Structure 1
Amino acid sequence: MANSRHFRTIFISDVHLGSKAAQTDLLLDFLRHHEADTIILVGDIVDGWRLKRSWHWPQGCNDVVQKLLRKARKGCRIVYIPGNHDEFLRDFPGMHFGGIEVADRIIHEAADGKKYLVLHGDEFDVVVRNARLLAYLGDWAYDAAIALNVVLAAIRRRLGMPYWSFSAWAKLQVKQAVNFIGEFQHVVAEEARKSGVDGVICGHIHHAVIEDIDGIRYINTGDWVESCTAVVERQDGTMEMITWQKPAAVPALQQLEDEVLEDMQAA
């Protein structure tokens, strides 16, 4: 594409393909407008948990997968680091699928010489690690918040009001959630320090941010359910957060809203 931007590396996580909340239209549009030498998928790209509960795989999911495979065929290196929702891929470290390499975690050296530990981050989530049932219940509650978010977004759009994420707002209003995010960031940053690197790039908690924590650069790529964010590395090694909201995606978002409304009426 003539107006596409080219980066050294693109980091994407928490797409949750298979979930009705996955913003596949926005991600596909982002991938059309951005090229890279390397794309690192930082976990929860496919939502195996939700697919086990109820199969949902619309054309948009196929389109995202095909777009990534096409980039791999054209010479882009793609590394897939599984998360807890796509943990079935953790049984295949070092394997290649259609040119996409699977790895548990990697050390990424940026163009400026700085090294980053790249991992999904769920191993530092006590709930996921030690209480799987509680994690599933939390996942169900998150689904409910996303469904409400879609309904509110539809109402706001019809009233001519700008997009606003209820689920993201609610998460930051709960003291325990805010404390969890802060604790998660410090624990992951400490893991990077133990690994002898300059920073860490992760996903998992759907909270996009780039900040320094006690001398460690902490980068969370966010998600493609609420924030629609990716982290890119420029040719000089600079890391940048990109939030992608394109008007072209409105029809697909309207379809998502209609599907969620139908599900709620059927329930």
Structure 2
Amino acid sequence: MSKRVVEIVVISDVHLGTYGCQARELLRYLKSIKPKMIILNGDIIDIWQFSKRYWPETHMKVVRKLMKFVVEGVPVYYLTGNHDEMLRKFAGMNMGSFHLENKLVLELDGKKVWFFHGDIFDVTMQHSKWLAKLGAIGYDSLILLNSSVNWFLKLMGKEKMSFSKKIKAKFKDAVKFINSFEQTAAEVAVEEGYQYVVCGHIHQPEMKQVKTDGGQVVYLNSGDWVENMTALEYQDGAWSIFRYEQHDFGQDEQEEGLLSDSEDLRSKLDIGLLLQKMKVG
């Protein structure tokens, strides 16, 4: 199967190491594209909830696939988020084509684009981190329960449902928080002279123009790989939101080699070559 060439791919909020992470689907997506640059916009590995007791092979294969891109010379920017905030002290580290940063600014077609996770705009994160962590555990538990219910619904021939989406839709405060987040990000971006601002954090894929008192900016959010299974793609001077759909990929995990040894990424990843290329710049 031919791979789609994409200039820039932005992925955020994968939450590897949690029950809600859709690692199989993400791996299928990564195997279907040929990116020229990858931006991992925070919360890729969920260090908050990381447990040695839960780290499936599919989660490790996502890491290996990303490492394989690095070995091939594809620029991979890992921007830190709140769930992987312990990596922030290593910001500025460069190893070959891998770069660890807290934020990133690119000029694309003459326009400045500002990438960062976005948790700095979350009041809960700034003042009640313990409450945010408790909420993260509750969210992961809800996703786990939701997965069990969806398994049963699929068995009954019925459509899947999302508990968290229904909860967000019913609570005005959740909608208000999302709108406030987007407006704040846009206002700061305009003040700093950016034409685009790209965030993650709120698990809400979006692409829209936002007007502020100081001007206007295009706000983008890559969504997540827990519920929405979305990414941002930049190609031919335009941004778009990629939404994973099962029917677009067809084959199951065994046929694709995602869970078998027939196409195990370990056999393709030369660790010696990795260490050779990932020299501190």
Match of 2:49, SS?
A: helix
Gaps of 5+ in 2: 255-281
The one-letter code of the counterpart of 2:87 is L
Q: Percent sequence identity over matched residues?
A: 37
Q: 31-40 vs 161-170, which deviates more?
A: 161-170
Within 5 A, what are the aligned runs for 1:9-28? 9-28=8-27
Q: Tell me the CA shift for residue 216 of structure 1.
A: 1.0
Point out where structure 1 has 5 or more consecutive residues left out of the alignment: 252-267
Q: Which residue of 1 aligns with 2:107?
A: 109
- How many residues get paired? 247
Aligned counterpart, 1:45: 44
Aligned to 1:89: 87
CA distance in 2, matches of 1:153, 1:75: 39
| Cα drift, residue 223 of structure 1 | 0.2
Q: Equivalences for 1:53-68 in 2 at 5 Å?
A: 55-68=53-66
1:182, 1:124 → 2: CA distance?
Answer: 12
Of residues 199, 204, 207, the one that matches 1:207 is: 204
TM-score, scaled to structure 1: 0.88
Q: Which residue does the alignment assign to 2:238?
A: 238
Q: Which has the larger radius of gyration?
A: 2
Q: Alpha carbons of 1:122 and 1:175: their partners in 2 closer, same or farther (altered >3 Å)?
A: same
Following the alignment from structure 2 to structure 1, what is the Cα–Cα distance between the partners of residues 116 and 11? Answer: 11
CA RMSD of aligned residues (A): 1.6
Give the deviation of 1:249 after TM superposition: 5.4
Residue aligned with 2:233, SS: strand
Shift, 1:172, TM fit: 2.2
Q: Report the structure, 1 or 2, having the larger helix content.
A: 1
Does the C-alpha gap of structure 1 residues 250 and 65 become closer, same or farther in structure 2, counting only changes over 3 Å?
closer
Residue 179 of structure 2 is matched in structure 1 by: 182
Contact 2:91–2:100 (CA under 8 A) maintained in structure 1 = yes
What amino acid is aligned across from residue 75 of structure 1 in structure 2? G
- Indicate conservation of the 8 Å contact 1:69/1:98, yes or no: no
